[in-house]
Amino acid sequence: MRFYRELIQVEEAQKRILAHMNRQPAEEVALSESFGRRLAEPVTADHPVPHFRRSGMDGYAIIAADSIGATPEKPVELDVIESIPSGTVPVHEVKPGQAARIMTGAFVPDGANAVIMLEMTNGMDGAGRVGERVLIKRQMAAGENVTPVGCEIREGETVLEPGRVIRAGEAAILAAFGYDTIKVYRQPRVAIFATGSELLAVKDMLVPGKIRNSNSYMLAALVKEAGAVPLVMPVLPDDLNMVTKTLDDALRDADMVITTGGVSVGDKDVLVDYFQQWKGTMLFNKVAMRPGSPTTVGICNGKMLFSLSGNPGASYVGFELFVRPYLRGMLGQTEKLPQEWTGILDAGYDKGSAYPRYVRGSMSVVDGRLHVKPAGPDKSSIMVSIKDTDCLIVIPAGGRGVRPGEKVRVIRLNTND
Amino acid sequence: MRFYRELIQVEEAQKRILAHMNRQPAEEVALSESFGRRLAEPVTADHPVPHFRRSGMDGYAIIAADSIGATPEKPVELDVIESIPSGTVPVHEVKPGQAARIMTGAFVPDGANAVIMLEMTNGMDGAGRVGERVLIKRQMAAGENVTPVGCEIREGETVLEPGRVIRAGEAAILAAFGYDTIKVYRQPRVAIFATGSELLAVKDMLVPGKIRNSNSYMLAALVKEAGAVPLVMPVLPDDLNMVTKTLDDALRDADMVITTGGVSVGDKDVLVDYFQQWKGTMLFNKVAMRPGSPTTVGICNGKMLFSLSGNPGASYVGFELFVRPYLRGMLGQTEKLPQEWTGILDAGYDKGSAYPRYVRGSMSVVDGRLHVKPAGPDKSSIMVSIKDTDCLIVIPAGGRGVRPGEKVRVIRLNTND
């Protein structure tokens, strides 16, 4: 027997991979350079938001009790004691019978407990300028249009957890708390190798029997999208000594290595030979899944080696089920596995299989219901359907397949989180 | 009257914006640098995929008719005439009574019209080596395990349209067709200005009455995610002459300008003054929407100026409804408006409004049904809920609001397409 393969389930394979997590070190980058990176520190509010009582309206800060019974026909008259533009601090306390002109976002003066919008007033003798009087035409409740201190964020609250991707909402919070630089996880450098003597480089002329290496670029795009740095390496030769030297070097120099092809039972499957004499620890080499059952993963000196099946479909599915969750973990994300939904399968999938099948699918929502269908022909040798894929449809093991209209597990892809 | 505002609907506003599209010029980048960029040329298949009849199995290429009646008990014997590894071209035609050992992905020889998998054969006198014989234990149909030429992609077919984001599936196709460089749309340079005398720079110490400028960084993250280059500019002063000079310069130097704040009716709304004496063409300055009704958009010498409301919620919604669709168009995307789904509103939203309200929401799928709920407190002054937003929930205009369990329009965000 050339090698031994213990069959394990996808969930067990994921568990074994994630048990060997090595988180990336942190590095400091400027806020403007941080978009798309993952936070390596928690962000705790060092001040409440807002940190002063904020006016939600353009109008007059008043004492609500002063407005009791006010209507357009029977307005209340108040003395305007000052004008408070945004960005300034009021000088005076508002006392009974007084009002302060105030702008949206400005500091509500002590004493006042409501802001009446401009349209509900009528400044007399001009427009309610300081030293003049303003007509209040509506009764206000205490607190109306005044955002209390800490209403949005309490002081000491943890606002952002490490591992979050810095997108618009995170960027706004980081700016508000004064992070002009921010600690993010260093992007893992991922070396990507394809195997197969049929593979040409992208710029090579096509010849009969050979195809250009597209897997490496597909994986590079996925690696980049996952927040890491892809290194597309030359196609591995069919020579065990050279493969050994090349992969050993890559496992030393890069933070992770991905290979495609060479892991099944064919005569020329050089990675099978490589793993047999490998100094690392193989975590598994056979997974109950279609496509990609010969997927082989190991770890050596803390670096993961993901050897995916060579078919485009199998490489893609293997990346999403195994590599991306590990990359999420390296970048500090606590939820590592992809999010799952339940959807209605529009097209039937009558091809039974001894193993669960992960079909590249596309989602749509019709009248509030999630529908999924295969993104295209699902032979694992076919790569053209990957461009239209935004989920994996899980067809359970068994001979029957799934009929149209039945519910299926849906693994969300392309979510960037 | 200080200015005139004509109220228009969101759809009309989007139509006016998109009627003034200026597509970006193209530039050529290396395939490995192209991920996340948008294609500026169609990709047409200059060869079929596969371009040779490809074996889907590891096994023997045979003439299907030779296997008629073959079973494990009554196998058919064939002569093995050659061995065809992947990447090579067969030398011999397969004739009746003959078979060729073939690997997955290899060139199916002329004459053969089926590939029988290795496990269904039994090579005699060794293992079915060339010059020996192989036992065929199953009847094969013509075409089985042989992928015909052009089965995946036909020659001349348009495989990728301009405007597509280059992700994994696109990268695989580009590599397969030999694009080691690729034309992509040049990323628009987007100058981002905030207004407001209450705004501090991110690195400034917090003082009473003032807040740090977070809108500009929020927008910068959105701009980057949309495939453009954000330029965070200093906060605009409250001086009309300086604002005029600064914005006019920015409209000359950048490809687009976004401002936040200063567009409503307050005393200090400097952008209202700017637009009144602007040399450009204002497209609209009042939209029937909450938040963000004073959103003002114009065009000057082919460059768009988006003046969004200053509240964080209004800036965010304004970006998604108006700026992102325009950026999609600049980058060649034909589907410019965000995708809409229908979902079930989990929490009620009883705040009626004269205008449709765009509530920052988050989606989940429970048992095949799309549920949405507000991502947090939805006051437009609140920015902390943006981080948990992945959709906008549309609450129709009218006094009633929406009750829990009712269906609502859902605008998908964060899709990167």
To the nearest whole Å, the CA of B209 is away from the closest chain A CA by 5
How far is it, in rounded angstroms, from Cα B162 to Cα B164?
6
Please say if the pLDDT value at position B3 is more than 90. Answer: no
Q: For B172-210, what is each residue's pLDDT tens digit?
A: 999 999 999 999 999 999 999 999 889 999 999 999 999
Angle ∠(A118,A121,A122) on CA atoms, nearest 5: 110
Tell me the C-alpha distance between B12 and B35, whole Å.
34
Q: Which residues, at least 6 apart from A281, have a Cβ–Cβ distance to it below 8 Å? A: A298, A299, A300
- What's residue A124's pLDDT? 46
pTM of the prediction?
A: 0.95
Q: Would you state the pLDDT for residue B124?
A: 46
Q: Are strands B146-147 and B54-55 parallel, antiparallel or unpaired?
A: antiparallel
Q: In what order do the strands lie in the sheet with B59-62?
A: B114-117, B59-62, B98-102, B76-84, B133-136, B121-123
Residue found by looking up tokens 């004493």 in the block: A111
Name the pairing type of β-strands A121-123 and A76-84: unpaired
B127: Cβ contacts below 8 Å, ≥ 6 apart:
none
Q: What are phi and psi of A174, to 5 degrees?
A: -60, -45
Out of A86-100, B58-72, B389-403, least confident range = B389-403
Calculate what percentage of chain B has a pLDDT beyond 90: 85
pLDDT of residue A399: 75
Q: Please name the member of A105, A381, A407 whose beta carbon is closest to the beta carbon of B368.
A: A407
B105·A312 Cβ contact <8 A:
no
In this complex, the residue of B56, B176, B203 whose CB is nearest that of residue A214 is B176
B283 vs A366: CA distance, rounded Å: 34
> Does the CA dihedral A233-A234-A235-A238 come out positive or negative?
negative
Of B223, B224, B227, B198, residue with least CA distance to B213: B198
Residue of A nearest to B54 (CA): A209
| Strand pairing report for A76-84 and A98-102 | parallel
**Helix and strand numbers, DSSP H then E, in chain A:** 7, 25
- CA A287 – CA A13 distance, rounded (Å): 7
Residue B125: pLDDT above 60? no
In whole angstroms, give the CA distance from residue A93 to residue A108: 10
Q: Which residue of B has its CA nearest to A375?
A: B169
Q: Is B225 left (phi over 0), alpha (psi -120 to 50) or beta?
A: alpha
CA–CA gap between residue B99 and residue B140 (Å, rounded): 13
Which residues have C-beta within 8 Å of that of residue A398, sequence separation ≥ 6?
Answer: A352, A353
Of A178, A204, A384, the CB nearest to B173: A384
Measured between alpha carbons, how far is B282 from B274 in angstroms, rounded to an integer?
11
pLDDT at residue A1 in the model: 41
d(CA A82, CA A109): 10
pLDDT at B391 (0 to 100)? 97
For residue B239, CA distances in Å to B4, B244, B246, B262, B268 come to 22, 9, 11, 12, 10
C-beta of residue A276 within 8 angstroms of C-beta of residue A298:
no
Q: Which residue has the tokens 């997927």?
A: A295
* Helix H or strand E segment including A318: helix A312-318
Query: Which among A85, A177, A344 is the nearest to B368, CB-wise?
Result: A344
Q: Please say whether the beta carbons of A77 and A30 come within 8 A.
A: no
Pick from A167, A175, A370: which is nearest to B368 by CB?
A370
Which tokens go with A220? 């590079």
Give the helix/strand (H/E) hosting A299: strand A296-300
Is residue A272 within 8 Å of A238, Cβ to Cβ? no
Q: Which residue on chain B is closest to A198 by alpha carbon? A: B87
For residue A293, the chain B residues in CB contact (below 8 A) are none
Distance between CA atoms of residues A235 and B283, nearest Å: 54
Average pLDDT estimate for B13-41: 97
Q: How many residues are listed for chain B in this entry? A: 417
As a whole number of angstroms, the distance between CA A332 and CA A325 comes to: 11
Q: Does B384 sit within 8 Å of A49, measured CB to CB?
A: yes
A9 CB neighbour count, 10 Å cutoff: 15
Beta bridge partners of B394: B358, B409
Grouping H, G, I as helix, E, B as strand and the rest as coil, residue A169 is helix
Cβ–Cβ < 8 Å for B357, B289: yes
Strand partners, A229: A189
Test A230 with B32 for CB contact under 8 angstroms: yes
Nearest to B111 by CA among B154, B75, B78: B78
Q: What pLDDT was estimated at residue A268? A: 65
Owner of token pair 């979050």: A164
Which residues are within 8 A (CB) of A48 and not within 5 positions of it... i.e. 6 or more apart? A149, A150, A153, A154, A155
- Mutation site, A182, A217, A223, A410, interface B, largest B CB count within 10 A: A217
User: What phi, psi does B250 have (nearest 5°)?
Assistant: -65, -40
Residue A167's pLDDT is 96
- Locate B363 and state its tokens: 């989606």
CB count within 10 Å of CB A117 equals: 17
**Is A387 in contact with B199 (Cβ distance < 8 A)?**
no
Is the backbone peptide bond immediately before A50 cis, with ω within 30 degrees of 0? yes
Distance CA A133, CA A78 (A): 5
DSSP secondary structure letters along A204-268: SPP-TT-EE--HHHHHHHHHHHTTSEEEEPPPBPS-HHHHHHHHHHHHHHSSEEEEES--SSSTT
- The type of residue at A6 is E
> Looking at residue B349, what is its pLDDT?
85
Q: In the 3-class helix/strand/coil scheme, how is chain B assigned residue by residue?
A: CCCCCCCECHHHHHHHHHCCCCCCCEEEEEHHHCCCCEECCCEECCCCECCCCEECCCEEEECHHHHCCCCCCCCEEEEEEEEECCCCCCCCCCCCCEEEEECCCCECCCCCCEEEEHHHEEECCCCCCCCCEEEECCCCCCCCCEECCCCCECCCCEEECCCCECCHHHHHHHHHCCCCEEEEECCCEEEEEEECCCEECCCCCCCCCCEECCHHHHHHHHHHHCCCEEEECCCECCCHHHHHHHHHHHHHHCCEEEEECCCCCCCCCHHHHHHHCCCCEEEECCECCECCCCCEEEEECCEEEEEECCCHHHHHHHHHHHHHHHHHHHCCCCCCCCCEEEEEECCCECCCECCCEEEEEEEEEECCEEEEEECCCCCCCCCCCHHHCCEEEEECCECCCECCCCEEEEEECCCCC
d(CA B100, CA B82): 5
Is A152 in contact with B382 (Cβ distance < 8 A)?
Answer: yes
Length of chain A: 417
Chain B residue numbers touching A214 (CB-CB < 8 A) = 171-173, 175-176
Q: Which residues of B touch A180 (CB under 8 A)?
A: 202-203
Please state, in angstroms and rounded to a whole number, the distance separating the CA atoms of residues A302 and A292.
24
How many angstroms separate the Cα of A53 from the Cα of each of A90, A145, B309, B311, B392?
A: 11, 10, 21, 16, 29
Min Cα separation A73/chain B (Å): 25
Shortest Cα–Cα distance, A75 to chain B (Å): 23
| Residues of chain A found within 8 Å of residue B171, distances taken between Cβ atoms | 214, 217-218, 220-221
**Full pLDDT tens readout for chain A, 417 residues:** 456 789 999 999 999 999 999 999 999 999 999 999 999 999 999 999 999 999 998 899 999 999 999 999 999 999 999 999 999 999 999 999 999 999 989 999 999 999 999 889 986 444 668 888 999 999 999 999 999 999 999 999 999 999 999 999 999 999 999 999 999 999 999 999 999 889 999 999 999 999 999 999 999 999 999 999 999 999 998 899 999 999 999 999 999 999 999 887 665 678 988 999 999 999 999 999 999 999 999 999 999 999 999 999 999 999 999 999 999 999 999 999 999 999 999 988 887 789 999 999 999 999 999 999 999 877 888 899 999 999 999 999 987 889 999 999 999 998 766
Q: Which of B85, B178, B208 sits opposite A268 (nearest CB)?
A: B85
The enclosing H or E element of A329 equals helix A324-330
In percent, the amount of chain B with pLDDT more than 70 equals: 96
A169 to chain B: closest CA residue: B387
The tokens for A27 are 């590095």
Q: Which two tokens stand for residue A191?
A: 């070396």
The Cα of A57 is separated from the nearest Cα of chain B by a number of Å equal to 10
Residue in A169, A370, A379 nearest the CB of B389: A169
